[in-house]
Amino acid sequence: MEEKQLTEQESLRLITDMINKARSSFHESGASAILWGSVVAIAGLTDFAQRFWNFRVGFDIWLVVLAAFIPQIIISIRESRRRKVVALEENAVDAIWMVYGISIFMLTFYLNVVPGVSERMLSDQGQELMVKNLSTGEVMHQPSFVISGYSLLLLLYAMPTLATGIARKFRPMLVAGILCYIYFLISCFTTTVYDLLLNGLAGITCWLIPGLILRNRYLKAKSV
């Protein structure tokens, strides 16, 4: 591009061209979305399979979610090194996912801690939860638990997904966010086993599929 005086029409055309160039230059690699989509799908579907077909993998499958933080750190460092341009909505989207990360950690804490605390509180008052089998009349001790805890996870998955879809005008995530709210509504009427299946599906629809679409776009843009 040379240094020359422009007519008004040329100026307007140049502005439009450059704005379009800048907008089409944002190509997320999709690596993070693929990672988290795969991990949540594996954990949710494996846990569902364990309970549905009565087998054990020998360890808490949800630990793979914790393990995924290591590749995520590597992906974040590599992407920040490669990034030549930062989009206007970048800070807002980063803030959404950071708050989501904190919230999911807090919710996991809640789901793990509250049953034990509830049981201790009841015990301090000389009480315990009991369930009665209506057909046999048998009364048994019921360990304390959070009702439909996996529904809360679905509710939380939906928020950053839909917000990112809206902020980036990225239809697959927008649709996935809405779908995840539908999964949440369904999970309010299903047992824990099927809530786990919905968690696995949420991983696939919210992150894995949008991640693969982003990856495809990124590779296409890179090859041009």
Partner 1 sequence: MFKELDPILHSQLRLAVMSLLISVKEAEFTFIREQTNATAGNLSVQVQKLKDAGYIDVAKQFKDNYPQTTCKITPKGIEAFEAYVKALQQYLQVGKG
| Sole residue written with tokens 């930062």 | 86
Minimum Å gap between C-beta 168 and partner 1 is 14
Minimum Å gap between C-beta 113 and partner 1 is 39
Residues 167, 173, 178, 180, CA torsion sign: negative
Minimum Å gap between C-beta 34 and partner 1 is 25
**Among 16-24, 105-113, 126-134, 216-224, the segment contacting partner 1 (CB under 8 A):** 16-24
Residues 106, 108, 111, 112, CA torsion sign: negative
By CB under 8 A, name the one of 70, 85, 130, 140 that touches partner 1. 85
**CA angle (208, 33, 55) in 5-degree steps:** 50
Structure token pair of residue 41: 């799908």
Choice between 60 and 94, CB closer to partner 1: 94
How far is it, in rounded angstroms, from Cα 160 to Cα 156? 8
Q: Does 91 bind partner 1 (CB under 8 A)?
A: yes
**Among 5-13, 29-37, 65-73, 206-214, the segment contacting partner 1 (CB under 8 A):** 5-13
How far is it, in rounded angstroms, from Cα 196 to Cα 45? 7
Q: Does 77 bind partner 1 (CB under 8 A)?
A: no
Closest to 175 in 3D by CA, of 218, 152, 201, 206:
206
By CB under 8 A, name the one of 66, 67, 88, 139 that touches partner 1. 88
Q: Does 25 bind partner 1 (CB under 8 A)?
A: yes
β-sheet bridge partners, residue 131 = 140
Q: Does 84 bind partner 1 (CB under 8 A)?
A: yes
Residues in the site for partner 1, rule: CB under 8 A?
Answer: 1-6, 8-12, 14-15, 17-19, 21-23, 25, 81, 84-88, 90-91
